[in-house]
Amino acid sequence: MSKAIQAVRGMNDCLPSQTNIWQMVEEKLRRVASNYGFAEIRMPIVESTALFKRSIGEVTDIVEKEMYTFDDRNGDSLTLRPEGTASCVRAGNQHGLLYNQEQRLWYMGPMFRHERPQKGRYRQFHQFGLEAFGIATPDIDAEVIMLTSRLWKELGINEFVTLELNSLGSNEERAAYRDALVEFLTAKEDQLDEDSKRRMHTNPLRVLDSKTPDVQAALVGAPKLADYFGEESSAHFQSVCQRLDAAGINYVLNDRLVRGLDYYNRTVFEWVTSSLGAQGTVCAGGRYDGLVEQLGGKATPAFGFALGIERLVLMLTSLEKVENIRPQVDAYLISLGEGVDIKANQLAEQWRDQVIDIRLQNHCGGGNMKKQMKRADKSGAQIALILGEDEIAAGQVTVKYLRGQHEQQSVALEQVPSLLASLI
Ligand code: ATP
Ligand code: MG
C-alpha cells in the first residue's frame, strides 16, 4: 500500500461530528449581524501581496513572518489572506461602495497565517468579520461592541468572556507618545527581550503588548498614551464608555491593549476568556479611520472586528454548550420485507415535501432489523420509523424512540408529518 497523504500541518478538516456546531455558530453570527443592519460581502481568498503590506503594516508579525506568499505563474506576488479587513476595504474601494456613503458589511471564511500550530492557533483558521464604513461618531463603536456582546449571550458564553477596551488616539497623538515611549524604553533596554528590543525601533507600541513577564515588569511607570490625547480623542473615548455603561456592558480599561495591526486609531477592544489557555482572545477590533484612504479610496472613517470561529467552537465545547444542538438527523426510516423499501422511498419523499425542514434519513442498502436499528441509533436521530409488511397493510408505521424513555407506538401514516414536525 502506498503512503497516505496527510493534510498540511495546521490546516484542519472539519468532520461531521463538528460541522453541526459550526453551522449553529455560523447561523447565529449571520442572524445577529443582520439584526444590526449588516449585509454579507464575499471576497477572494487570494489577493495581491501589496494589499496586506500596505494595510497591516510591514513591521507587524503578520507581514514579517506569518503570510503565505507565492509567485503565481505570471510572476505576480500573491498572498493567501491573513485577515479580512484589507480585502473588504479593497473591494469597497474597487466597487465604489464606500464613496460618500455608509456601508455595513460582514464576511466569514478561511484565513491563513504561518504560525506554530497549537490549541486555538492554526495555519488555516476561520474568521467572522464585520466592518462599518462612513461613520466617525462613537455611536457606531458602541453599537458594534454591543453586537458582539449580544453574540456571547446568544451562544450562552457571556459569563466567560471579558471586554477589554482602550483608545489609541489619533496618528499625531500616537507619534508624540511614541517618542516618549522610545525614550523610556531606551533607558530600560537591558531589561527587554530580543523581540522587544527590535520592536522598540520598528513598532514601539507593540512592546506594551509583550507577553514576557520581564518586559511587563520593565514597563511599570511607562508614559501613558491617554496623557497625549487632545480634546477630541478624549471625548470620543468617553462617549464610547458612556454608551457601554448605559447598555450595562462591563469592560476593563487596558492601556496596554495596542493590537497587532498598524491601521487602528482611537477605540480598540478585545474579548478575552480564561477558558482557552494561552490563546485567550476570541474577538478583536476597533476603529481604523485612515485605512480606506491609505488603500487608495477617499478618506472614510471605519470601525470593525474579527472573531476566531475555532476558538469559539473550542469554548462552546469545553463549556458544554453544545449538548442541545440539533443533530444532523431527526428521524430514521427503516424498511423490512419484500419490496417495502420501494414504499419507503416513496413515503420519505412525500414526508419531505410535507415537512420542509425535516432531516429524514431513509435507510438504504438493505439488511435485517438489527443492522438497520444500529444505523438508526448511530445517526443521532430521535426516532426510528419502522415500516414492514404488517404496517403497510394497516396503514401505519411503528415508532421507536431512540433517546429517553418512551414506549414504542403505532402511528397512522397520515399522522407521520405532524409527528415529524414535532421533532424540529
Ligand atoms: P493572537 O494575539 O491570538 O495571535 P491576533 O491579534 O493575531 O491574535 P487578529 O488578527 O486580531 O488576532 O484576529 C482576530 C481573531 O482571529 C483573534 O482574536 C483570534 O480569535 C482569531 N485568530 C487569529 N489568529 C488565529 C490563528 N492562527 N488560529 C486561530 N484563530 C486565530
Ligand atoms: Mg497573531
Alpha helices for 57-115 (secondary structure H): 61, 85-94
Specify the ligand 1 atom closest to the Cα of 261.
10
Contact status, residue 261 vs residue 241, Cβ threshold 8 Å: no
Whether the per-residue pLDDT at 17 is higher than 80: the answer is: yes
Average pLDDT over every residue of 111-126: 97
Strands 302-308 and 124-133: antiparallel
Are residues 240 and 145 part of one domain? Answer: yes
Percent of residues, the chain, with pLDDT higher than 90: 88
Distance CA 311, CA 21 (A): 12
From the CA of 281, which ligand is nearest? Answer: 1
Q: Tell me which of 62, 68, 127, 161 to substitute to probe ligand 1's pocket, judged by most ligand atoms within 8 Å of the beta carbon.
A: 127
Q: Does residue 39 lie within any of the structural domains?
A: yes
Are residues 346 and 302 part of one domain? Answer: no
From the CA of 261, which ligand is nearest? Answer: 1
Whether the per-residue pLDDT at 61 is higher than 90: the answer is: no
The structure's pTM equals 0.92
From the CA of 260, which ligand is nearest? Answer: 1
Residue 8 Cα, ligand 1 centroid: separation in angstroms?
19
Give the confidence band of 322 by pLDDT, cuts at 50, 70, 90. Answer: confident
From the CA of 56, which ligand is nearest? Answer: 1
Are residues 366 and 298 part of one domain? Answer: no
Residue nearest to atom 7 of ligand 1 (CA): 260
pLDDT at residue 161 in the model:
96
Residue 122 Cα, ligand 1 centroid: separation in angstroms?
9
Buried b / exposed e along 282-319 (16+ C-beta atoms within 10 A): bbbbbbbbbbbeebebeebbbbbbbbbbbbbbbbbeee
The overall average pLDDT reported for the chain is: 95
Collapsing DSSP to helix, strand or coil, 141 comes out as helix
Average pLDDT over every residue of 118-123: 96
Residue 389 Cα, ligand 2 centroid: separation in angstroms?
62
Are residues 264 and 383 part of one domain? Answer: no
Percent of residues, the chain, with pLDDT higher than 70: 100
Are residues 340 and 243 part of one domain? Answer: no
Are residues 377 and 246 part of one domain? Answer: no
Residue 117 Cα, ligand 2 centroid: separation in angstroms?
12
Whether the per-residue pLDDT at 262 is higher than 80: the answer is: no
pLDDT tens, position by position, 278-321? 889 999 999 999 999 999 999 999 999 999 999 999 999 999 88
Whether the per-residue pLDDT at 260 is higher than 80: the answer is: no
Q: Which domain holds residue 388?
A: 331-421
Whether the per-residue pLDDT at 345 is higher than 80: the answer is: yes
Are residues 311 and 248 part of one domain? Answer: yes
Residue 62 Cα, ligand 2 centroid: separation in angstroms?
7
Give the confidence band of 324 by pLDDT, cuts at 50, 70, 90. Answer: confident
Q: Does residue 55 lie within any of the structural domains?
A: yes
Q: Does residue 210 lie within any of the structural domains?
A: no
Q: Does residue 190 lie within any of the structural domains?
A: no
- End position of a domain, from candidates 269, 293, 318: 318
Helix (H) or strand (E) holding 241: helix 231-246
Whether the per-residue pLDDT at 261 is higher than 80: the answer is: no
Q: Does residue 383 lie within any of the structural domains?
A: yes
Residue nearest to atom 29 of ligand 1 (CA): 121
pLDDT tens, position by position, 136-156? 999 999 999 999 999 999 999
Residue 59 Cα, ligand 2 centroid: separation in angstroms?
13
Residue appearing with cell numbers 528590543: 197
Give the confidence band of 24 by pLDDT, cuts at 50, 70, 90. Answer: very high
Residue 391 Cα, ligand 1 centroid: separation in angstroms?
56
Whether the per-residue pLDDT at 259 is higher than 90: the answer is: no
Q: Does residue 139 lie within any of the structural domains?
A: yes
Give the confidence band of 263 by pLDDT, cuts at 50, 70, 90. Answer: confident
Residue 306 Cα, ligand 1 centroid: separation in angstroms?
8
CATH number at residue 384: 3.40.50.800
CATH number at residue 147: 3.30.930.10
pLDDT tens, position by position, 231-251? 999 999 999 999 999 999 999
Average pLDDT over every residue of 375-399: 96
Alpha carbon 315 to chain centroid, angstroms: 12
Are residues 62 and 125 part of one domain? Answer: yes
Domain count, the chain: 2
Are residues 239 and 103 part of one domain? Answer: yes
Whether the per-residue pLDDT at 399 is higher than 90: the answer is: yes
Average pLDDT over every residue of 325-347: 95
Alpha carbon 320 to chain centroid, angstroms: 19
pLDDT tens, position by position, 154-167? 999 999 999 999 99
- End position of a domain, from candidates 291, 318, 345: 318
Contact status, residue 254 vs residue 165, Cβ threshold 8 Å: yes
Average pLDDT over every residue of 410-415: 97
Q: Does residue 381 lie within any of the structural domains?
A: yes
pLDDT at residue 361 in the model:
98
Polymer length in residues for the chain: 424
Give the confidence band of 272 by pLDDT, cuts at 50, 70, 90. Answer: very high
pLDDT tens, position by position, 28-50? 999 999 999 999 999 999 999 99
Contact status, residue 127 vs residue 307, Cβ threshold 8 Å: yes
Collapsing DSSP to helix, strand or coil, 133 comes out as strand
Are residues 247 and 163 part of one domain? Answer: yes
Are residues 294 and 151 part of one domain? Answer: yes
Distance CA 360, CA 315 (A): 30
Specify the ligand 1 atom closest to the Cα of 83.
10
- End position of a domain, from candidates 273, 297, 318: 318
Specify the ligand 1 atom closest to the Cα of 312.
20
Are residues 153 and 94 part of one domain? Answer: yes
Residue nearest to atom 28 of ligand 1 (CA): 121
Whether the per-residue pLDDT at 180 is higher than 90: the answer is: yes
pLDDT at residue 276 in the model:
85
The set of protein residues with a Cβ atom below 6 angstroms from ligand 1 is 83, 113, 115, 120-122, 125, 127, 260, 279, 281-284, 306-308, 310-311
Whether the per-residue pLDDT at 275 is higher than 90: the answer is: no
